[in-house]
Amino acid sequence: MRIFIIGSIDKKASAFPQFSKVCREIGLSLSEKTIDVLLCSPFDGSADKELILGFSSSRNQQANIELHYPQHENVESNWNELLGSAIDHNCIRIRKFRHPSPEKVTQEGWKNAWLFCQIQALNNASIIFTIGGNIDGSSNLLLRIAEAQGKPIIPLSSFGGAASSFLDRNKYELIDQLGNDQFKIIEQGTKFEQIAAIVTGFTNLKKLEHLKKYQQDPIFFISYPRDRPSEADYIEMLCEEEIISF
């Protein structure tokens, strides 16, 4: 199982200490399971960082870690420092996927570079766990993409944000998938070990069958300039030969 973590909170927020505690407890529980945990951000306020710090409390680390981040000295050094203090490198395999940095170093360029990394991690994941996250930022967009792809998503709504918004609009679907008891656990967000068990044990067949179909039958979108329609016609012909939808 490959779990992608989506979420963050402002470190100056009054709720940050509780956010940190929740993420670290869940990180501790996940670290002792034979799963892959996909992460992107080593920076303060991210669920990724707090969850990794939870790994350090474990004496039985088994999970593997997969990182997706822009190739940059500052990001690399932050990940190395964080992993060096929290991970038992004799037990855990760490895979690093360094994606391109922005070609033009601007705030918008960096935003898109990080988003690209997050989308790569999302595409590699089989299940999403989300906590907090900016309602008007990449977290909300990533959850919308995951929804469109039919990926199973477990939200923890205690800290508002994109995770809470997702839970609100999918409340009855989540109750159908999890049952009332498990839904109450993720809605309340206080029973950390049970939350981790729900995340790693979430194998809703309807969702997973939909995901399998999505992965096996890709749909392509073709964009082309008006003055070169022949190029699009050629791609369309190739798709039709392979019986691919677009």
DSSP per-residue letters across 25-70: HHHHHHHTSS-EEEE---STTBHHHHHHHHHTT-SS---EEEEEEE
Three-class SS state of 154: strand
pLDDT at 158: 85
Q: Element (H or E) spanning 127, and its range? A: strand 127-131
- The whole-model pTM stands at 0.78
pLDDT at 109: 94
CB 3 within 8 A of CB 136: no
Q: Which fold has domain 2-203?
A: Rossmann fold (3.40.50)
Torsion angles phi and psi, residue 30, rounded to 5: -70, -35
pLDDT at 7: 94
Question: Over its length of 246 residues, how does the chain's per-residue pLDDT go in tens digits?
Answer: 899 999 999 988 999 999 999 899 889 888 888 889 999 999 999 999 999 999 888 888 888 999 999 999 999 999 999 998 778 767 788 999 999 999 888 999 999 999 999 999 999 999 999 999 999 889 999 999 999 998 999 999 889 999 999 999 999 989 988 889 989 988 887 777 788 778 777 644 444 444 444 455 566 677 777 777 777 776 777 666 655 554
Question: 208: number of CA atoms within 13 Å, CB side?
Answer: 10
Query: Taking CA 92 as the corner, what is the angle to CA 127 and CA 47, rounded to the nearest 5 degrees?
Result: 45
pLDDT at 240: 65
Q: What is the CB neighbour count within 10 angstroms for residue 243?
A: 7
pLDDT at 203: 44
Q: What is the CB neighbour count within 10 angstroms for residue 91?
A: 14
In whole angstroms, give the CA distance from residue 246 to residue 238: 11
In whole angstroms, give the CA distance from residue 157 to residue 166: 8
- DSSP lists the bridge partners of residue 95 as 66
